[in-house]
Every structure is written in C-alpha cells, then in structure tokens.
Structure 1
Amino acid sequence: MNDGSGPPDENDALIRAAQLRHEREKRGRQDEEPSVARRLAQIGVLGWMIVTPMLIGVFLGNWLDRTFKTGLFWTAPLLLLGLGLGCWSAWKWVKKA
C-alpha cells in the first residue's frame, strides 16, 4: 500500500479500477453507438425513402390513367416500379451508412 509520498502503487485496487474505467471510457468514445433517437430517425428516413417513390408512381400512374382512360394500366406498374426504386435506394443508403 502506498502512503502518498511516493509514486502510486500499481497493485492498488483503486488505481487499477480507475485505469480500467479510463480505458473503457476511451474505447467508448472511439466506438460510440448511435443513440435511440438517431436509430429512430434512420428508420423514419428509410420509410420515407421507400414510400416516396411509390407515391410518385401512384400519382403519376393515376394521372396517366385518367388522361388516357386506361383503368389501372399505368398505376399498378408505376407503383411497383416506385417500390423497387425505393427499396433499391434504401438498400444503397444502408450499405453506405
């Protein structure tokens, strides 16, 4: 045990615990996990990345169907095209992040 007059004793349990905590904090700062709010924001962004192209496809298809009086000839394929485009862009975004 150290009496305080010399260098700290490496075998002291309190010193070892402080060093361990310091190392954990340093690793925590380097490998910081995103917060829950950030994760929820990412989920929201992913949702909109998929839904927005689908809605554009529905609106464009509906307009084309009303213009040419074709029933669902344009709406259904453009909806599926929007879904594919949205899923592809979301996948690319997740791979990048």
Structure 2
Amino acid sequence: MDKPPIKAKNNKTPRSQNMSHQVEKKVALKLYAKRHKHPGVWFGLGLMGIVGWSVALPTLLGIALGIWLEASISDSRAYTLIFLLAGLTLGCFIAWNWVSKEYAAMHSPTVTMKANTKAPTKAPTKANTVPKTKTSKENE
C-alpha cells in the first residue's frame, strides 16, 4: 500500500510560502505608492538632470585637466583623451551608483513594511463579542 504524503504543519508548501511572500511584498509596495504619490514629470526631469550632471561634470573636469597637462608638459601623449575617458568612466560609475541606491530605496519592502506594520490585532470571535448573560443562580 502506498502511504499518503505527509503534510506540513502549517499546510503551506515552500512554493506557496514563496508566492505569499511575493504577494505581500507587492501589496506593501502598492500601498506605499498609494500613500506617497509619485511627484510626476518634475521628478523625472530632476533625475535626468542629476544623472546627466554626474556624468558631464567629471568628464569636463577630466578634459580641463588634460588640456592643462598638455599645455604645461611638452610630451607626445594625448592627456586630454586619457583624462576625458577617465572622467567619463568616473561619471558613469557615480551615476550608476546613485541610480542603484535610488532603485533599492524605492523597491525595498523592509523600509516600507517597517513603517506600515502595526501590532497585530485580535480578530473578533464569538467568545469575545457576545456579552455573557447571567444565569439564574447568579441572579439570586
């Protein structure tokens, strides 16, 4: 005879636990998004500006340093090109780091769930909602 499979005590398989965790995470993100409205177009333009300047400024500083080195040192090396690429690389790293931190902050359920969780309340049951009536012995 084949034995029936043993069920877990909490009647949830690991797959259903994973799915319920994903659903809870998405619900928390949606609730957070409803409470904290998206700033709109200006937020997007500001984000593009910050990312753009974080790339452009190191690149321009690298070009300026390269031009200054070429003017002060008479050498056959192309310092402008070298420092342009170095500034561009540094700017892209700064922008990537900043955007990844913002993405992590927006999609972190631990931050939103900690702020939104409250102590669990006891669900009303028949025992704690129906008032007790006095028996005939208690009335005497």
TM-score by length of 1: 0.66
Residue correspondences, number? 73
Structure 1 partner of 2:65? 60
Q: Highest CA radius of gyration, 1 or 2?
A: 2
Consecutive aligned runs of 4 or more in structure 1 exceeding 2 Å deviation: 69-72
Structure-2 separation of matches of 1:66 and 1:76: 14
Structure 2 partner of 1:85? 90
CA shift for structure 1 position 70:
3.1
Task: Answer yes or no: is 1:46 the counterpart of 2:51.
Answer: yes
Q: Percent identity?
A: 38
Structure 2 partner of 1:28? 34
* Contiguous gaps of at least 5 residues in structure 2: 1-30, 103-140
Decide which structure has greater helix share: 1
* Contiguous gaps of at least 5 residues in structure 1: 1-24
In 2, are the aligned partners of 1:60 and 1:75 still within 8 Å (CA)?
yes
CA shift for structure 1 position 34:
3.2
Root mean square deviation of aligned Cα: 2.3
TM-score by length of 2: 0.47
